[in-house]
Amino acid sequence: MATIGSLVFCTDCGNLLPSSKGSLKNILQCECCGAENQDAAASTIITKSKPSDFPSFLRQKLSTTQTVKRHEVNTEATTSQICPKCGRTEVRFSAVQLRSADEGSTIFFTCDCGYKWSENN
């Protein structure tokens, strides 16, 4: 009899045997050839694998460590928005998802004059 996971097969004809009752003393009878097979599904087989067992170029690229200093990351872009305080036509902005995913993001604007404001998108 062969066991693959929780499936048990007849040793004589290879037919799939009826569901296991989960004990080693249980005898499973093949519905195809009538052979009696001891239940082996009760013995638990645990297999473990690690990412290195499946080599991948993408995984190798992702596994390289990158160190980024938070103050060096530029999260702002410029746009042609008018500053309500000084009237400049170009300001910096960043978009942040503060509300739930099905709602729009919040846009934070910053002008060179120091004025800051936000708009819900």
Q: What is the pLDDT of residues 30-52, one digit of tens each?
A: 888 888 877 765 555 677 888 77
The pLDDT value given to residue 112: 93
The reply to whether 86 sits in an annotated binding site is yes
Strand partners, 94: 108
> How confident is residue 8, by pLDDT bands cut at 50, 70 and 90?
confident
The reply to whether 32 sits in an annotated binding site is no
Burial 2-29 (b: 16+ CB within 10 A, else e): ebeeeebbbeeeeeebeebeeeeeeebe
Topology at the third CATH level for domain 74-120: N-terminal domain of TfIIb (2.20.25)
The pLDDT value given to residue 119: 92
Amino acid (1-letter code) at residue 20: S
Q: What is the pLDDT of residues 75-107, one digit of tens each?
A: 789 999 999 999 999 999 999 888 888 999 999
Q: Output the pTM of the full model.
A: 0.41
The reply to whether 30 sits in an annotated binding site is yes
Q: What is the pLDDT of residues 53-64, one digit of tens each?
A: 777 777 777 766
Q: Answer yes or no: are the C-beta atoms of 112 and 89 closer than 8 Å.
A: no
The pLDDT value given to residue 83: 94
> How confident is residue 24, by pLDDT bands cut at 50, 70 and 90?
low
Domain boundaries, the chain: 1-49, 74-120
